A and B are shown apart, each in its own frame.
Chain A
Amino acid sequence: MPEMARRGGGGGGGGGGGDARNWDEEGYRKSILRERELHYRTVFRTAFAPSLNPNPETLIVASSDGSLASYSISACISSVTQLMHFNRKIDEKPVPDFLLVEPLSVIQGHKGPAYDLKFYHVGEEYLLLSCGDDGRIRGWKWTEELNSDLSMGMQGNDLKPLLDLVNPQHEGPWGALSPIPENNAIAVNEQEGSIYSAAGDACAYCWDVETRKRKMVFRGHSDYLHCITARKSSNQIITGSEDGTTRIWDCRSGSCTRIIYPEKNRKLKEHSWVSSVAIDSSESWLACGTGSGLSVWSLLSCECIFSSDSCAPVQDLLFQDNQVLTVGSEPVLTRFGIYGVVLSQIKCAPQSAFSVSLHPSGVVAVGGYGGLVDVISEFGSHLCTFCCQGMD
């Protein structure tokens, strides 16, 4: 009942609180389902939309219901501040009640979870690329998406993707086709006009944006890929896989130039994986997030700089100048110095975070379990924390 009272408005006219005469069974059911969905929704990727404003303006969120939603940060801040003290007071509660925020716009990007999104710069335009469990890479015109003034989700589906790439199915004996492998991550290289995808069939694919054709297949990993990043300066890509290795591939030849075992020096027998890879702006440092922590490598000498053992698996990481920001299966954002010193640990809302993204101004967004997004300012304070509403 209290659920009802709280969420009644969103549940489609659940109606007058405890008034049993106009009981809306359907609305109540919906609201319960919604509550559950919301609770188990996961944000897989957050990204700051490109803009000229030095302040972070818009945040795009890809979540487990396949939606791509954009949120205005300033709107979030102003709506969150009213509740900030309230939230702070019940800080000790394991799952604090965070504010549901209405998105600026939302599109149903994928069937099944959307795993990654990237912006692709073409001329004046920005292409919003997303990939997901359905094995597709889709591209939307960012301005169109943003301006599609929609009333909660319905129109979002109408928006036609500019780009739609589907992973190939593997052909077995007697013409049997495998299911379409999912895309776990994408990377872009605008100079080459390429999109790279890390797929669930242990292959990475290179797609040409113009022709929308597959240019290259990178085979070599023995298990599905988690992550991919492009090293534009040397036209290479770096992939991390469930098999516990990071491979560096040459895009021209499609061959693997180096295999890095982030876990190699570890005595542990148990199998680990590479969940995330990132390179710094000079493209000479590589950070790999693994099942047991973080290891940073120099790409020039191919030596491990440091390897940090955190008890929680790292699920996403990125470089900020010469620091590494990591998130993982614990509710903290950890900042490492380049030599492995933990500089700071900022508590963040999601119990397990799958995505960390950085705005040039120093603002960091962390997304994860519970559909929660925590936007952290450059001071380390919480700019705003909200829960994504997603699709209906």
Chain B
Amino acid sequence: MENEVKLTTGVVVTFAIAVSALVVLPYMQVRDVKPPEGLKPYTSAEQRGRAVYIANGCMYCHSQQPRSESFAPADAKRGWGRASVPGDYYYDKPHLLGSMRTGPDLLNIGVRQPSKDWQLGHLFQPRAYVPESIMPSYPYLFEIKDKADPDEETVNLPPAHVPPGKVVVARPEALDLVKYLQSLKRNYPILPPEPRDTTGAPAAPAAPDAAKPAGSS
């Protein structure tokens, strides 16, 4: 190759094709997605909790994208919920789909584990609830003191995990984070996906039904 213009042009062209295919086309395809009726915007406390989730990197171990029953049947059986659709993420900025499942999927943790006490205690010391867990404990989201002030929230922990004569109170970050986790509920019904997105799955069973009366008559 002798020509630097050809080189740089080619390089930019390949890049432009890739941006069109993987950035612009998905943008055009999902920009008109509407929020499902059952999905509420986050409250400001939930939004703050979401920021705590992001700041502490929860998404590096927890995905938020249950997969379809045909691809990974265990997801639904574990109570992680139905396969998610683009509309489920309407209010999510930034997205938190995640790429690892060192811990379980959390898109429906608000359905599966709605208890505030459990969530707070589990954040303080995961191994108090799941002995084999390798989730870090988050003592910096809590305070250990002699007595809780009237407006403070005391965490109800299994007795072995509270220092004797002390109480564990949740800091506002922990309370917000739990509010966010409790809000994670994508269990409302959604319209079946448009047939074109499912590469024939619903269309295939429908076809014989439609063909049968035609064949018999």
Task: Tell me, yes or no, whether A binds B.
Answer: no
Residues of B within 8 A of A (CB): none
Residues of A within 8 A of B (CB): none
